């Protein structure tokens, strides 16, 4: 293990995860565990269907390793930009956030975002996410979602466009009632000209996972209009927690009037640290609070749907005026172990990333990871909890992108590396039986199924 890795592991210490990894918080914060072995050393591996990785006019990746993986892992591609889907439309580009759901007859359903902005196209696909105009929120916008149905072996049965007319769909999150919340990372405003946006953007939309075709795109206005990134739902209460991708973002919660009926309205709030009622910028000077739960409270956002993009009127401007805590580019979020984990991609003393854990029962937030070495962890973006109880982070950094795990001893380990290009990993999630990890390489737009001993990892 290199000295830089040792030094980094001293900073993350114990307490990096929580119940059922609760033993971490019982350890001494200054403990310095060794670098974790994870699943073993990585080496380049060809996909099982390498001969199929050619899309005319898009790319030719035949006989090229896409991933470096530990021993005992294998993978294959199931959906690539430019391929023809079951509904006759083309797979859009810019694969991003994603979640999986158990489907009928032992199938698995994936709902996947496409981070396409306005008329952005990929490899000649002029239509982006192609649904009928009557289903679209904005006929000018090419973003949205597609849905993939897989068999028990992780092979694609059918796929289709499921939501269209939205802008820059980055991340989102699954709900416990069987839908995907897809988030617009854009606050574009309409223009009188038909050659640009016809709607205000910056909303969350709900996509039923088991719908057989496209869903009518209806913005959930009460969840706020801002640079949305990700959502995580507390299954006990139905409260939705949300991140915002800006340098001075807030961490929000949406308390719906009726659980599971988000369009019925609710209250949008932002997190405030009780010890910093006038506000705090958590991007710097919080490494000393590592593993220390900080008491929080919530402030109401009086106007969740501002008409313009001025800072004072924005949701974050309203929250900051009330002392809401600022976070450095809130991105991926995931509910697990009774907590909501969320990444701040550029947070920390060296701006290489943080991971926070919010505890809704204790009303605390805890810094559980802060990168002090970019060679170990850089720009954690999407995040999920694996079937082995470990946290998995998906990097969007400048020095090569990896999938990085964190175990209950506070040890980091790499489980995969992008071996084909410098594109980010995104949309990482696990099948309900724990057999597969699904993950996207955003460019050129490939969804992968990674099979391995996910449940047998070191605790």
pLDDT of residue 122: 76
| Mean pLDDT of the region 138-160 | 97
User: Residue 8 gets which letter from DSSP?
Assistant: H
- Give the other-Cβ count within 10 Å of 277's Cβ: 12
Provide the pLDDT confidence category of residue 11 given band limits of 50, 70 and 90.
very low
Q: Which residue has the tokens 């550029």?
A: 346
The span from the CA of 227 to the CA of 117, in Å, is: 13
223 φψ region: left (φ > 0), alpha (ψ -120 to 50), beta (else): alpha
Looking only at Cα atoms, what is the longest distance across the chain? Answer: 61
User: What is the tens place of the pLDDT at every residue in 77-89?
Assistant: 999 999 999 999 9
pLDDT of residue 22: 36
Q: Does residue 248 register a pLDDT over 60? A: yes
User: What is the tens place of the pLDDT at every residue in 346-369?
Assistant: 999 999 999 999 999 999 999 999
The span from the CA of 163 to the CA of 91, in Å, is: 13
Q: What percent of the chain is predicted at pLDDT more than 70?
A: 91
Question: Can you read off the two tokens belonging to residue 71?
Answer: 């021993």
Poorest-pLDDT segment among 3-7, 191-195, 230-234: 3-7
Q: Does residue 91 register a pLDDT over 60? A: yes
β-bridge partners, 139: none
Q: Does residue 9 register a pLDDT over 50? A: no
pLDDT of residue 194: 66
Poorest-pLDDT segment among 127-136, 184-193, 214-223, 249-258: 184-193
Cα–Cα nearest to 404, from 438, 377, 439: 377
The domains of the chain are located at: 1-81+373-459
Cα–Cα nearest to 340, from 451, 202, 236, 190: 236
Q: Which residue has the tokens 């001893």?
A: 409
Q: Alpha-carbon torsion 254, 258, 260, 262, what sign?
A: negative
Helices (H), ranges, 196-314: none
Poorest-pLDDT segment among 36-40, 163-167, 180-184: 36-40
| Mean pLDDT of the region 374-385 | 94
Cα–Cα nearest to 145, from 197, 95, 104, 109: 95
Question: Can you read off the two tokens belonging to residue 343?
Answer: 């990444």
User: What is the tens place of the pLDDT at every residue in 184-210?
Assistant: 999 999 987 767 888 999 999 999 999
Q: Does residue 121 register a pLDDT over 90? A: no
| Mean pLDDT of the region 246-271 | 98
Q: Does residue 5 register a pLDDT over 60? A: no
Q: Does residue 247 register a pLDDT over 80? A: yes
Q: Does residue 457 register a pLDDT over 60? A: no
pLDDT of residue 10: 31
Report residue 100: phi and psi, to 5°: -120, 155
Contact between residue 40 and residue 71 where contact means Cβ atoms under 8 Å apart: yes
pLDDT of residue 4: 38
| Mean pLDDT of the region 295-320 | 97
Report residue 104: phi and psi, to 5°: -70, 155
């Amino acid at each position: 293990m290199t000295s830089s890795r040792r030094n980094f592991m001293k900073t993350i210490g114990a307490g990096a995860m929580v119940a059922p990894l609760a033993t971490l918080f019982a350890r001494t914060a200054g403990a310095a565990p060794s670098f974790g072995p994870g699943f073993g050393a990585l080496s380049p591996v060809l996909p099982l269907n390498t001969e199929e990785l050619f899309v005319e006019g898009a790319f030719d990746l035949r006989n090229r390793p896409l991933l470096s993986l530990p021993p005992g892992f294998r993978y294959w591609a199931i959906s690539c930009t430019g391929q023809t889907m079951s509904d006759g439309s083309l797979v859009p580009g810019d694969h991003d956030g994603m979640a999986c759901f158990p489907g009928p007859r032992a199938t698995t359903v994936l709902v996947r975002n496409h981070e396409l902005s306005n008329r952005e196209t990929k490899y000649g696909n002029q239509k982006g996410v192609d649904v009928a105009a009557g289903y679209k929120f904005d006929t000018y916008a090419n973003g949205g979602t597609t849905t993939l149905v897989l068999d028990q072996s992780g092979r694609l049965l059918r796929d289709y466009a499921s939501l269209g007319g939205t802008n820059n769909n980055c991340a989102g999150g699954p709900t416990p009632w069987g839908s995907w919340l897809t988030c617009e990372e854009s606050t574009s405003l309409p223009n009188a000209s038909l050659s640009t946006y016809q709607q205000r953007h910056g909303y969350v939309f709900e996509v039923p996972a088991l719908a057989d075709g496209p869903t009518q795109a209806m913005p959930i206005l009460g969840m706020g209009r801002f640079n949305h990134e990700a959502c995580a739902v507390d299954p006990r209460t139905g409260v939705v927690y949300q991140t915002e991708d800006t340098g001075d973002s807030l961490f929000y919660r949406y308390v719906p009037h009726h659980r599971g009926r988000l369009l019925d309205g609710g209250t949008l709030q932002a997190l405030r640290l009780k010890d910093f009622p006038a506000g705090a910028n958590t991007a710097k000077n919080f490494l000393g609070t590592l593993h220390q739960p900080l008491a929080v409270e919530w402030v109401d956002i009086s106007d969740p749907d501002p008409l313009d993009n001025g800072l004072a009127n924005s949701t974050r401007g309203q929250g900051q005026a009330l002392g809401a805590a600022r976070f450095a580019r809130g991105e991926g979020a995931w509910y697990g172990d009774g907590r909501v984990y969320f990444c701040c991609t550029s947070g920390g003393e060296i701006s290489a990333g943080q991971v926070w854990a919010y505890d809704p029962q204790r009303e605390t937030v805890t810094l559980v990871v802060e990168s002090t070495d970019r060679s170990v962890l850089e720009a954690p973006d999407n995040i999920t909890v694996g079937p082995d109880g470990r946290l998995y982070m998906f990097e969007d950094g400048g020095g090569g992108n990896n999938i990085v795990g964190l175990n209950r001893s506070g040890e980091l380990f790499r489980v995969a590396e992008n071996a084909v290009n410098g594109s980010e990993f995104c949309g990482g999630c696990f099948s309900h039986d724990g057999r597969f990890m699904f993950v996207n390489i955003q460019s050129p737009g490939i969804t992968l199924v990674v099979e391995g001993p996910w449940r047998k990892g070191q605790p």
